Amino acid sequence: MKVLQVLPALNSGGVEKGTLEIADALVSQGHVSWVLSAGGRLVSPLCENGTQHKAWDIGRKSPLTLLQIPKVRRWLQAEKFDIIHLRSRMPAWIIWQAWKHMPLASRPRLISTVHGLHSVSKYSEIVTCGERVIVVSETCKAYVLQNYPKTDINKIRLIYRGIDPALFPWQFQPSEQWKESFLKQFPTLRDRPIITLPGRLTRLKGHHDLVEIFKNIQARHPQARALIVGGEDPKRKTYAKALYQKVEAEGLTEQIIFAGHQTDMKEIYAISTAVLSLSSKPESFGRTVLEALSLGTPVLGYAHGGVGEILARLYPYGACEKGNLNAVAAKLDALLESKSIERPIKNETFLLSAMQEQTLQLYHELLAENLS
């Protein structure tokens, strides 16, 4: 197969990571892999692994981008792809407009993926334009069927995102050298139970809920520390400032530590007594929750969206009703007192290998339909 994946850029993020993972699977099985994007720091590893990259900025939200449709159509006709896989809205509009006016006999098969729960609009509806539509969770599937009812349910395919267990191995423990280096940065964490909340400092991540939870448990667990891992959002400096002020006003500056952006998340999850997921809005999947659980670290989180699906499979004890801070605090109490006998189930469901295999099977399915 000759497969083209399309997205705005290749800098960082879950969509970008998934693109590289499918590209690697294609190359490893002897297929021809292409990616079209405006470029970014992930282009080098992509190409080093055998994928060809077409640098083309068709993700810019501007009417001028529409002028590139004829040129895009000519390029697609010249390259003769078997499959085009669309992963983002604006590039999807450009490719779809070019694709639908190609001669039927030479037109590639078209797949789109719904990665996120976008605001509902005609613009966002383009994520359902594929002849097959991949959804990354049951939450995503319900979102499509509820908000875009014209979508044929028979063309929707659920393919969960997954992780490589070699990168997040069960019961992993970091080296003593790493622990010492990390604890030198944050000495107040030494010999303390650590409750980690990953996520940039934005209102959606539930930092204020964390403050209230820690107020609740402080009298019973004064030794516990909360670790907020995530940098400030440049567009939300006011929120970050208000959060710092709230922590100080509640007298929790010793108990709640802001670690900023960190790259060693596997190690941080591994030394955590628990990880929290307190997002106020449902997420389409919930990769950070899966990463922590795959190591065997308990996760307590609001059981909505993709996070709820992961918890239901791997750690039902950790599922809490959204906004029920008392429930989260009570379960955290039990974990800190080692009263909970519930432990995460080893992840054998949300695997990278399964995601790769199912995606390539879908490519084959669509091409076989074309030949029949």
Report domain extents, the chain.
2-162+352-371, 176-336
For residues 295 and 288, the answer to whether their CB atoms sit within 8 Å is no
Beta strands in the chain (DSSP E): 2-6, 32-37, 52-55, 83-86, 109-114, 132-135, 156-158, 194-198, 225-229, 256-260, 274-277, 299-302, 319-320
How much is the mean pLDDT over the chain? 94
Q: Residue 276 region, left (φ>0) first, then alpha (ψ -120 to 50), else beta?
A: beta
Give the pLDDT confidence of 309-348 residue by residue, as tens digits: 999 999 999 999 999 999 999 999 999 988 666 889 999 9
Rounded-to-integer distance, Cα 120 and Cα 98, Å: 24
Give the pLDDT confidence of 92-145 residue by residue, as tens digits: 999 999 999 999 988 999 999 999 999 999 999 999 999 999 999 999 999 999
Q: Give how far Cα 314 sits from Cα of 75, 174, 317, 348, Å.
A: 45, 22, 9, 9
List b or e across 316-346, with b for residues whose CB sees 16 or more CB atoms inside 10 angstroms: ebbbbebeebeebbebbbbbbeeebeeebee
**Number of residues that this document lists for the chain:** 372
pLDDT-above-90 percentage for the chain: 88
Instruction: Tell whether the model's pLDDT for residue 86 goes beyond 90.
Output: yes
pLDDT value for 372: 46
Instruction: Tell whether the model's pLDDT for residue 365 goes beyond 60.
Output: yes
pLDDT band at 247 (very low <50, low <70, confident <90, very high): very high
Specify the range with the lowest mean pLDDT, choosing from 29-33, 89-93, 231-235.
Answer: 231-235
What are 138's two structure tokens?
């049951």
Which of the four CATH numbers 2.60.40.10, 3.40.50.2000, 3.40.50.150, 3.90.1150.10 does domain 2-162+352-371 have?
3.40.50.2000
Place of tokens 């509820």: 146
What are residue 200's phi and psi, to 5 degrees?
A: -60, 160
Instruction: Tell whether the model's pLDDT for residue 290 goes beyond 80.
Output: yes
Q: Give how far Cα 141 sits from Cα of 34, 45, 90, 219, 253, Å.
A: 27, 32, 21, 43, 42
Of 161, 170, 245, 165, which is closest to residue 201 (Cα–Cα)?
245
Q: For the structural domain made of 176-336, what CATH number should be given?
A: 3.40.50.2000
Give the pLDDT confidence of 35-83 residue by residue, as tens digits: 999 999 999 999 999 999 999 998 888 888 888 999 999 999 999 999 9
pLDDT value for 100: 95
pLDDT value for 371: 52
Instruction: Tell whether the model's pLDDT for residue 370 goes beyond 70.
Output: no
pLDDT-above-70 percentage for the chain: 98
**Matching CATH topology for 2-162+352-371 and 176-336?**
yes
Q: Could you tell me which residues come within 8 angstroms of residue 201 by beta carbon, excluding any fewer than 6 positions away?
A: 207, 228, 230, 231, 232, 233, 236, 239, 240, 243
Rounded-to-integer distance, Cα 144 and Cα 148, Å: 5
